[in-house]
Amino acid sequence: MSAPARLCILGATGSIGLQTLDIVRRHPQRFVADTLVANRNVESMLSLCREFAPRLAVLADADAATQLDAGLRRSGSDTRVVAGATALAESAAAADVDTVVAGIVGAAGLAANLAAARAGKRILLANKEALVMTGPLFMATVRDHGATLLPIDSEHNAVFQVLPEGRLVRGVRKVWLTCSGGPFRDLPELDLASVTPEQACKHPNWSMGRKISVDSATLMNKGLEVIEAHWLFGAPAADIEVVIHPQSIVHSMVEYDDGSILAQLGNPDMRTPIAHALAWPERIDAGVTPLDLIAMPALTFRPPDRARFPCLDLAYAALQQGGTAPAVLNAANEVAVAAFLERRLPFTGIPMLIEAVLAALALDPQPDLPAVLAADAAARECAAALLASGRWGESSSRNAGSGRTMG
Ligand code: NAD
Ligand code: MG
């Protein structure tokens, strides 16, 4: 057997990171957790470092890193601890690492993902926000430096699996992204203006971090995934369709000109796409309960409610606009979701704030990396100012009804 793959797990303490480590635990001959990276969760990192004994542990937060270091020294660990954004990005490009699991949430993962691409690593991408921000730049960096990009977002992993060699070919008519519809899909009478963070984070089919759970409830997650699919596979926006599939068993589909639709099916468990990408092109056990075709629920499909969940069309529009529009959309969404989770913005204010920020900022049609980062910063500043002034709903075409201001 060949030498084990040496992994750098960005976002090791999160939902994606922990599920990746579950696969590592099942295949110790195949994978080594060389580097674990997180924000500031000392307790979780301590226990992961004790179990996996990584060469390197990286925390973004310096105080947390000091605590982690003290805890590890007390337990006689050899793991080296470093802190800060530069060390974090460097860890993804280190010579000791061959595979990088991009599992940080949001724009915070961008620098490390880019560093991994520049170093020609095999990158397993969950962190869709970073790709949304920098689509053309990131894909060019991957290409120019001979990196390998494998999607672990379940939909994109499914598309990858049903495309020949994971690439778009002539004769593909449509890419169909399935969407659970989130926790509010079957509650048409529910006043979305008054839903709470707890309700929004209770996803019917998947257990995920809080930010992506809110994105799933607003359908922004699917919007970001449309942009992600565009950059990963080169499909035009008009050929990427979203369909609500409440059972989350068909993880996505590709429709061909000859009338074939190829789908990937399985129980909703992220360990399937993670294990697929980790082992690719081989297959390994992921610890996932096999899908019982006889006992599974009937599979149903219906169109998304675009009026009730405007984030989906905001994302399509940003993709069509191109340039810095997706980065502005993403940054405004990150601020809006954080404000919603802190009860400073109602659920229905999320698309209004994003729309207001997109309307307020001039877009750069062909940004380089500094211009993308400047657009991200400007969008965050603009969103924060609109939130502080309470004027986040004013430029929106959807500001009718309750919930325009917080009570
Ligand atoms: P999570 O909130 O559970 O975990 C986030 C991880 O990122 C944590 O380890 C945290 O410490 C780390 N992190 C956050 N900010 C950081 C910073 N500034 N520096 C360093 N580390 C930082 O999130 P998640 O659900 O695991 O999602 C991670 C990414 O994967 C997101 O982009 C999400 O859209 C994507 N994704 C998740 C799932 C899922 O099932 N959870 C599915 C598909 C895609
Ligand atoms: Mg997904």
Task: Answer yes or no: is the C-beta of 82 below 6 A from any ligand 1 atom.
Answer: no
Atom of ligand 1 minimally distant from the CA of 16: 26
In the block, residue with structure tokens 């169109």: 303
Measured from the Cα of 11, ligand 1's closest atom is: 9
Which is it for strands 5-10 and 31-38: parallel, antiparallel or unpaired? parallel
pLDDT at 1: 66
User: What is the Cα–Cα distance from 126 to 401, expressed in whole angstroms?
Assistant: 36
DSSP 264: E
C-alpha closest to that of 163 among 126, 155, 286, 16: 155
Question: Quick one: pLDDT at residue 398?
Answer: 56
Ligand 1 atom 22: residue of nearest CA: 39
Q: Write the DSSP assignment of 328-380 as a string of letters.
A: HHHHHHHHHHHHHHTTSS-TTHHHHHHHHHHHHSPPPSS--HHHHHHHHHHHH
Q: What is the rounded average pLDDT of the residues 51-55?
A: 98
- CA distances 54 to 84, 244, 360, 373, Å, are 18, 41, 46, 32
Q: Quick check: 134 and 327 in contact, CB under 8 A?
A: yes
Measured from the CB, is residue 48 less than 6 Å from ligand 1?
A: no
Q: What is the mean pLDDT of the chain?
A: 95
- Alpha helices of 6-127 — where are they, by DSSP H? 15-26, 42-52, 62-74, 85-91, 110-118
Q: What would the pLDDT profile of 310-356 be if each residue is shown by its tens digit?
A: 999 999 999 999 999 999 999 999 999 999 999 999 999 999 999 99
The pLDDT score that the predictor gives to residue 403 is: 37
CA 340, CA 311: separation in Å to the nearest integer? 15
Domains in the chain (CATH in brackets) are 5-151 (3.40.50.720)
Residue from 16, 127, 129, 220 whose mutation best tests the ligand 1 pocket (most atoms within 8 A of CB): 16
- Ligand 2 centroid, distance to 121 Cα (angstroms): 23
Nearest by Cα to 38 from 113, 128, 108, 139: 108
> How far does CA 12 lie from the centroid of its chain?
14
pLDDT single digits (tens) 156-212: 999 999 999 888 889 999 999 999 999 999 888 889 999 999 999 998 888 899 999
Evaluate whether 79 touches 104 at the Cβ level (below 8 Å): no
| pLDDT band, very low/low/confident/very high, at 12 (cuts 50, 70, 90) | very high
Q: Is the CB of residue 128 below 6 angstroms from any atom belonging to ligand 1?
A: yes
Q: Report whether residue 273 contacts ligand 1, using a CB cutoff of 6 Å.
A: no
Residue 35, ligand 1, Cβ within 6 A: no
| Radius of gyration of the chain, Cα coordinates, nearest whole angstrom | 21
Contact 68, 41 (CB under 8 A): no
Q: Answer whether 153 contacts ligand 1 (Cβ < 6 A).
A: yes
**What are the pLDDT digits (tens) for 125-142?**
999 999 999 999 999 999
- Mutating to test ligand 1, I would choose from 22, 23, 101, 105 the residue with most ligand atoms within 8 A of its C-beta, which is 105
Ligand 1 touching residue 36 (CB < 6 A): no
> Which atom of ligand 1 lies nearest, measured to the CA of 15?
26
Give, using CA atoms, the residue closest to atom 12 of ligand 1. Answer: 11
DSSP state of 302: B
Q: Give the Å distance between the CA of 15 and the centre of ligand 1.
A: 7
Task: Give dist(CA 277, CA 123) in Å, integer.
Answer: 9
